[in-house]
Amino acid sequence: MTLFPEMFPGSLGCSLAGKALADGLWRLETVDIRGFAGDKHRTVDDAPFGGGPGMVMRPDVLDRVITEAAGPGPVIYLSPRGRLLDQARVKTLAAGPGVSLLCGRYEGVDERAIEARGIEELSLGDFVLSGGEPAAIALIDACVRLLPGVIGDQATLAEESFEDGLLEYPHYTRPQVWEGRAVPEVLLSGHHDRIRQWRQEQREKATRERRPDLWERRLASQGAEPGPKNG
């Protein structure tokens, strides 16, 4: 549900997601919110009560589009005010019957529409897009790649980040030396146990250094005490 239906399928028409779309492994229906306006000028927004800049999307228009056009599964509004999206939510959505995504523009939507219709609000992160559409495309992409048959190699999915709350290990390919930088020796050794151990250490180091929030959560879930030693 968008004021810019021409933004879809966008990147979802390309690569793995696009092939899966063409193969019928998933479907995308784009609904033009403007088609649910109530007047001849097809008005969907109005000035904010209380003043301030910009325009707000009208709750009556949003109610009509949700009632008449939402599919099976939850209705989700993508905004920086939402709970942070994570891989666990993506997995649940991908396993479900579908999802209806409401894409905001301008200053956003009238809060009453969100409340009254029990709409789930999710955020991709602490930054502001000019509209919900790129976030919707990202959410759909994350779900579609989990659908059976979209990614050929299931090992790729099982091994990746967030399966166990750690970031991925670093990857290397040819050339063996590039701009004076050699590939870590252990990866050329053929010692698969040592390679596995090295990669696990690299994952832990990267998570500790780059995402202390994930590292703390992992320690907490293992019952460790946070602080200078384990922090």
Q: Which residues bind ligand 4GY (CB under 6 A)?
A: 78-80, 104, 108, 123-125, 127-129, 131-132, 135
Nearest CB to ligand 4GY, comparing residues 51 and 228? 51
* Min separation Cβ 120 and ligand 4GY, Å: 12
Nearest CB to ligand 4GY, comparing residues 138 and 151? 138
* Min separation Cβ 174 and ligand 4GY, Å: 38
The three-point CA angle 70-25-149 to 5° equals 135
Nearest CB to ligand 4GY, comparing residues 128 and 155? 128
Nearest CB to ligand 4GY, comparing residues 74 and 132? 132
Q: How far apart are CA 129 and CA 79, in angstroms?
A: 9
**For residue 212, which of 201, 200, 204 has the smallest C-alpha distance?**
204
Residue, CB closest to ligand 4GY: 104
* Min separation Cβ 103 and ligand 4GY, Å: 8
> What pairing do the DSSP bridges indicate for beta strands 100-102 and 75-84?
parallel
* Min separation Cβ 130 and ligand 4GY, Å: 6
* Min separation Cβ 224 and ligand 4GY, Å: 32
Nearest CB to ligand 4GY, comparing residues 1 and 135? 135
Which long-range contacts link 219-224 to residues 24+ away (Cβ below 8 Å)?
Answer: 221/165
| Length reported for the chain | 231
**For residue 135, which of 151, 122, 150, 118 has the smallest C-alpha distance?**
122
Nearest CB to ligand 4GY, comparing residues 84 and 224? 84
Q: How far apart are CA 217 and CA 157, in angstroms?
A: 22
* Min separation Cβ 132 and ligand 4GY, Å: 5
| Amino acid occupying residue 30 | T
Token digits of residue 79: 């905004």
